[in-house]
Structure 1
Amino acid sequence: MFFVDTFEFEGLGNRSYLAGGPHAAVVVDPPRDIDQVIAAAARRGVRIAFVAETHLHNDYVTGGLELARVTGAQYLVPAGAHVSFACTPVADGDTAGVDAGLVLRAIATPGHTPHHTSYVLEDDGRGVAVFTGGSLLIGTVGRPDLVEPRLTEQLARAQYASAHRLADELDDEVPVLPTHGFGSFCSSSQAEGDATTIGKERTSNDALTLDVDTFVAQMLAGLEDVPAYYAHMGPANAAGPAPVDLTPPGRADAEEIAARLAAGEWVVDLRSRMAFAEGHVAGSFNFEGEGKLATYLAWLIPWGKPVTLLADTPEQITDAQRELVRVGIDRPAAAATGDPAGWVRQGEQLVSFPRARFADLAQVRERGDEVVVLDVRRDSERVGGYIDGSVHIPIHELHGRVGEVPQGTVWVHCAGGMRAAIAASLLDAAGRDVVAVDDGFDAATDAGLSLISG
């Protein structure tokens, strides 16, 4: 008998896996915070015998090196990956005996990276699962443009060939267990569903249903912007990430918060966008702890800038720490929780800005009021339609382009409200009058706002 346990990291759109038999197991693409993986193995009563990486990740810092060190597991890393630490290099066709009758077999699947490797879990010689990392995903494949721009088309073609190799070698019923693709920017597109098999992908995945030229052309045309922090993830993984410290950060009082803001550091409020709009520390930024905190904070913050976290509860700070270490933001400079009134010095007040719906914006326009409408969605979203007369600055560019936003009250929107809240906080901190549109973009048409096709 074998088992597969899945660890899901919604904030990053990724998964890790613990798989094995009655006595021993392998961990595939582990997270930086390895304690949960160790606890899961302990609940199963299994020894972690192997830790396997499908590739050097560009979107998060791995816990593989530390997990192998702590457990004594053999650390399997694709042979083509250039790393600065001792490991067991894995080449196409290599096998590792995980438990009685259970074998892990490596299949070279270049495309997401040149060295990308998938792993088939075989039970008495029969494939029972395939860990595909950033190769074959659910309804799509991993993007090929994260390594070197000059290699992008070549890797896209390799990705196509790798998908076909997996489909040719494995039976229809074999579950496909990718690392990326659940909202990750490492995916070349977003697909529906959270489970799949080789057979399902054979009939629904463009990499397996289109000819190679059409597939490559469509993939390259649909690639999104790359989050800025990706540039730091690969080198960190190649160097060998250090262990993490998840102990609580030092407590910041109002004086320290003010001093850190004055020093140009980032003070990040993790509360809901509703609570933030109602009252927050002037100059602080709102990245909801329940949103894609790691992705957007790591994307926007100048790399290495100290960050102080504000939240309702210590538990929210703890959760945020876990999210942030996964993308290399290792230690908050300080933190504060509780009543926001205690985050400002005596004699100072919390500040606020209004929230609204698209219907409110339509009413303002009908009255003839002059306002700035700022769209912070991605280019690919704007192509589907945008509000007539709106200014477009994607959220990940806004911090460096605030000066380009026209004068006047800024009504900022995205597709659902989360990114608009981040943008509103950036503009508010810059001294702009802002209204955060907290609404689904479909409501813009219902409100009677004129939309232009992209």
Structure 2
Amino acid sequence: MFFIDNLEFEGLGNRSYLAGGPAAAVVVDPPRDIDQVIAAAARRGVRIAYVAETHVHNDYVTGGLELARVTGARYLVPAGAHVSFARTPVADGDTFTVDGGLTLRAIATPGHTPHHTSYALAEDGREVAAFTGGSLLIGSVGRPDLVEPRLTEQLARAQHASAHRLVDELDDEVPVLPTHGFGSFCSSSQAEGDASTIGEERRNNDALTLDVDTFVAQMLAGLEDVPAYYAHMGPANAAGPTPVDLTPPRRADGEEIASRLAAGEWVVDLRNRMAFAEGHVAGSFNFESEGKLATYLAWLIPWGKPVVLLAETPQQVADAQRELARVGIDRPAAAATGEPTGWVRPGEQLASFPRARFTDLAEVRERGEEAVVLDVRRDSERAGGYIDGSVHIPVHELHGRIGEVPDGTVWVHCAGGMRAAIAASLLDAAGRDVVAVDDGFDAAAEAGLPLISG
């Protein structure tokens, strides 16, 4: 009897899979931190016989090469992928025996990348799962614009063809098990559920219900900005990632934190946005550990800039360190835990700024007080409607565009509060008077703020 374990990575919006039989298993698209994969295999009592990549990933650093080295597994990588390390090149139709009657078949599904490959898992000749990577996702497909702009339309058309190939070759009851689509920016749109089958996708996925020209036009019109750090992921994966080091970073006191801030390093406070607003090290940035830490920190930070982590507990630092390693931010320069009063030099005060709701903003406007409203949502979100008179700078662009924010007290908002907190910390560090709107955007209309339709 076969098993399939989902390994979820909510911060990046991805999944990896461990699938096998009584004695051996395959790991599909493993994360950088392979210890949890090894632990999952140990709980099952199986040997990892194969490590399979669906493609050279653009959104995270793979642990595949190291996992294969540590376990002695064969490392399956699509033959068309240009990599600098030894591996087993996989071509369309290749099959591999995982355990007894459990086999893995490669299916060429170009689109997310030119070399993308899906894998069908079969037990005694009956296909029981499809590992679709960045090809067929739940209600969507992987975006085609991460490789080369000149190939985007060609790859979008290939995505349409690959989706059709999968549903033509696999039975309707076969589960669809993608790597992307659970919050990852590798998806052309986000999944509305966490499980699906070939039959459900046949009925509901635009790639399978629209003609190719309509599908391509809609997909290309809806693509979001690409996170800046993606530019570093593909090359790192093609070169062969080094093993990850998750040992604790050096401890920093208030003197060292101040020195690192003065040197231009990023000091990142992992606490929740309420605690940060109440009191924080002046000049530090707030990226909540419970939010999409790796995605937004890696997106905003100048690549290679040293990072100091501040948190309430050592476990929060360890969790953040693990998540950041998945996107190539390997070693924090230092860290500090405990109370924020211990993160500043003796005699120095913590900085703070107010938080508010949209009703507070409405009252300020009604009184005729000047307020700069800064919307840090993405373009696609703003297209659905925005507050009249607001300034728009997406949060991932704000660090380089703070000079464009008009003078005055800045009321910054997003769709829910997390990105507004990041933006507020950036503005506060730059010396601006800021109010963080910690509210859902639906409350703006309820508060009586005038909205402009997108």
**Fold shared by both chains (TM-score > 0.5):** yes
RMSD of aligned C-alpha atoms?
A: 0.3
Measured after TM superposition, the shift of residue 190 of structure 1 is 1.3
Q: Which amino acid in the other structure matches residue 210 of structure 2?
A: L
Could you tell me how far apart the structure 2 residues matched to 1:325 and 1:334 are?
15
Could you tell me how far apart the structure 1 residues matched to 2:239 and 2:184 are?
23
Could you tell me how far apart the structure 2 residues matched to 1:436 and 1:145 are?
34
Q: TM-score, normalised by structure 1?
A: 1.00
- Describe the superposition over 1:160-211 as per-residue Cα deviations: whole angstroms up to 9, x where unpaired: 0000000000000000000000010000011210000000000000000011
Residue 100 of structure 1 aligns with which residue?
Answer: 100
Show structure 2 runs of 5+ residues with no match.
Answer: none
Residue 436 of structure 1 aligns with which residue?
Answer: 436
Measured after TM superposition, the shift of residue 347 of structure 1 is 1.2
Q: Which amino acid in the other structure matches residue 103 of structure 2?
A: V
SS in 2 for 1:432: coil
Is 1:192 paired with 2:192? yes
SS in 2 for 1:181: coil
Matches within 5 A, 1:285-324: 285-324=285-324
Q: Which amino acid in the other structure matches residue 427 of structure 1?
A: L
Residue 375 of structure 1 aligns with which residue?
Answer: 375
SS in 2 for 1:143: coil
Could you tell me how far apart the structure 1 residues matched to 2:419 and 2:109 are?
35
- Describe the superposition over 1:350-386 as per-residue Cα deviations: whole angstroms up to 9, x where unpaired: 0100000000000000000011000000000000000
Could you tell me how far apart the structure 2 residues matched to 1:225 and 1:365 are?
32
Measured after TM superposition, the shift of residue 71 of structure 1 is 0.1
Is 1:109 paired with 2:109? yes
Could you tell me how far apart the structure 1 residues matched to 2:209 and 2:117 are?
22
Could you tell me how far apart the structure 2 residues matched to 1:385 and 1:238 are?
41
- Describe the superposition over 1:11-31 as per-residue Cα deviations: whole angstroms up to 9, x where unpaired: 000000000000000000000
SS in 2 for 1:309: strand
Is 1:201 paired with 2:201? yes
SS in 2 for 1:440: coil
Could you tell me how far apart the structure 2 residues matched to 1:342 and 1:395 are?
29
Could you tell me how far apart the structure 2 residues matched to 1:368 and 1:348 are?
36
Could you tell me how far apart the structure 2 residues matched to 1:393 and 1:416 are?
16
Residue 412 of structure 1 aligns with which residue?
Answer: 412
Residue 344 of structure 2 aligns with which residue?
Answer: 344
Measured after TM superposition, the shift of residue 436 of structure 1 is 0.1
Could you tell me how far apart the structure 1 residues matched to 2:350 and 2:20 are?
53
Q: Which amino acid in the other structure matches residue 377 of structure 1?
A: R
Matches within 5 A, 1:253-272: 253-272=253-272
Q: Which amino acid in the other structure matches residue 343 of structure 2?
A: W
Show structure 1 runs of 5+ residues with no match.
Answer: none
Measured after TM superposition, the shift of residue 280 of structure 1 is 0.0
Residue 397 of structure 1 aligns with which residue?
Answer: 397
Could you tell me how far apart the structure 1 residues matched to 2:109 and 2:260 are?
47
- Describe the superposition over 1:332-361 as per-residue Cα deviations: whole angstroms up to 9, x where unpaired: 000000011010001100010000000000
Could you tell me how far apart the structure 2 residues matched to 1:40 and 1:425 are?
38
Measured after TM superposition, the shift of residue 453 of structure 1 is 1.0
Measured after TM superposition, the shift of residue 87 of structure 1 is 0.2
Could you tell me how far apart the structure 2 residues matched to 1:150 and 1:113 are?
13
Could you tell me how far apart the structure 2 residues matched to 1:15 and 1:333 are?
29
Residue 221 of structure 2 aligns with which residue?
Answer: 221
SS in 2 for 1:196: coil
Matches within 5 A, 1:58-97: 58-97=58-97
Residue 249 of structure 1 aligns with which residue?
Answer: 249
Residue 425 of structure 1 aligns with which residue?
Answer: 425
Could you tell me how far apart the structure 1 residues matched to 2:196 and 2:34 are?
26
Could you tell me how far apart the structure 2 residues matched to 1:300 and 1:115 are?
29
Q: Which amino acid in the other structure matches residue 386 of structure 1?
A: Y
Could you tell me how far apart the structure 1 residues matched to 2:235 and 2:98 are?
29
Q: Which amino acid in the other structure matches residue 402 of structure 1?
A: I
Measured after TM superposition, the shift of residue 247 of structure 1 is 0.6
Residue 135 of structure 2 aligns with which residue?
Answer: 135
Residue 16 of structure 2 aligns with which residue?
Answer: 16
SS in 2 for 1:400: coil
Report % sequence identity.
89
**Alignment: residue pair count:** 454
Residue 362 of structure 2 aligns with which residue?
Answer: 362
Q: Which amino acid in the other structure matches residue 294 of structure 1?
A: A
Residue 330 of structure 1 aligns with which residue?
Answer: 330
